[in-house]
Structure formats: structure tokens, C-alpha cells
Amino acid sequence: MDLGRSQIIYDENGKAIRMVGTHTNITEEKELQLKASCQAEMLEQIYDGTISTNLDGVIVDLNTASEELLGYKADEIIGKHSDILYTKEDIEIRNRELKILMLAGKHHIAMRLVKKSGEILYVNLTLVLMRDDRGNLIGRMAYIQNISRQKEAKITLMEQHKNL
């Protein structure tokens, strides 16, 4: 796709004598915009939750699945520190896991999250570092898979086994 601008210069009789202009190919820019738009749409459509934070742990984005899992609307949680999603006991564990993430670049862990209602949600988290197009570290992304039903079934099974 090309973007052009031009100007025609006329002589005193109104005859065109020169044309001056610029021509810019914006194909690559449009392709990058389309790619970013498609990636954002894909993240929005993922059944599992996604939450991104800046390097200070402040939530900067989440998808609809995260809103449904956690009970927060985007405007209620964006701008808040991710600590609100963890029990006080789990914040230290989370901080330790983030140190591993910073060394490895990607990390998987089972954790508990706290929903807006106060209910505990058992999840598998896949944590990844986010970088800009120059490779600079800009934040973290968490992919959230709800495993509460599996966890509850396991606990029930263990209790039944104990009672045998």
C-alpha cells in the first residue's frame, strides 16, 4: 500500500510546469498493524485466561476469559497490582516463582488465585516474559488454566482413600 502526496506548480499562465511530491510505501506498517490486531484478537478468544503486567507487577491487560475466571471487569483491575490476585501466604511463593521466570524466560506453576468474590481458584500458570520489538524486557504475561475441578476431585479422592 502506498501513500502519496503531491503538489502541482503552475506558471503565470496556469500551465502545469512541475510536480513535487513524496511517495511512501506503508505496506510493512499496515502488515504489522494487522498482525498486532490479529494477535490481540487471538488472545481475546483464548478460552484460558491471559493477564499481562508491567515489570512492577501492575496489571496492564487481561482477556475476557480472565474477567470471567476472576470476576473482575477490565476497568476494575487494570492499573492495580497483581498482589490482589494472591493470598497473603502465596505472595512470597509468587515472588520466588517470578525470580525463576526472570532467569528462565518461561515458567510453569500450579498456584491459587483469589477471585473478586474471595473464592479461591486453583490454576496452572504459564508465565512468560514480554519483550518489545528491540528485545527490551517490558513485562510479564500469565496464561491461566482453571484446574479447580481437578484439584477438588483429587482432594475428594484422597479423603475417600483415607476413610477406607
Average pLDDT over residues 106-135: 94
Average pLDDT over residues 12-41: 70
For residue 103, report the phi and psi dihedrals to the nearest 5 degrees: -80, -40
pTM of the model: 0.66
Domain 47-162, CATH: 3.30.450.20
* pLDDT over 80 at 133, yes or no: yes
Condensed to tens digits (0 to 9), the pLDDT of residues 71-87 reads 999 999 999 999 999 99
Q: Name the more confident of 156 and 54.
A: 54
> 129: how many CB neighbours lie within 10 A of its CB?
16
Strand partners, 58: 81
Strands 120-131 and 137-146: antiparallel
Place 162 in a pLDDT band, splitting at 50, 70 and 90. confident
Rounded to 5 degrees, what angle do the CA atoms 152, 74, 142 make? 55
Average pLDDT over residues 83-101: 91
Whether residue 79 contacts residue 95, with contact meaning beta carbons closer than 8 Å, is answered with no
Place 38 in a pLDDT band, splitting at 50, 70 and 90. low
- Output the pLDDT for position 112: 94
Domain ranges of the chain: 1-45, 47-162
- Output the pLDDT for position 43: 47
- Output the pLDDT for position 10: 82
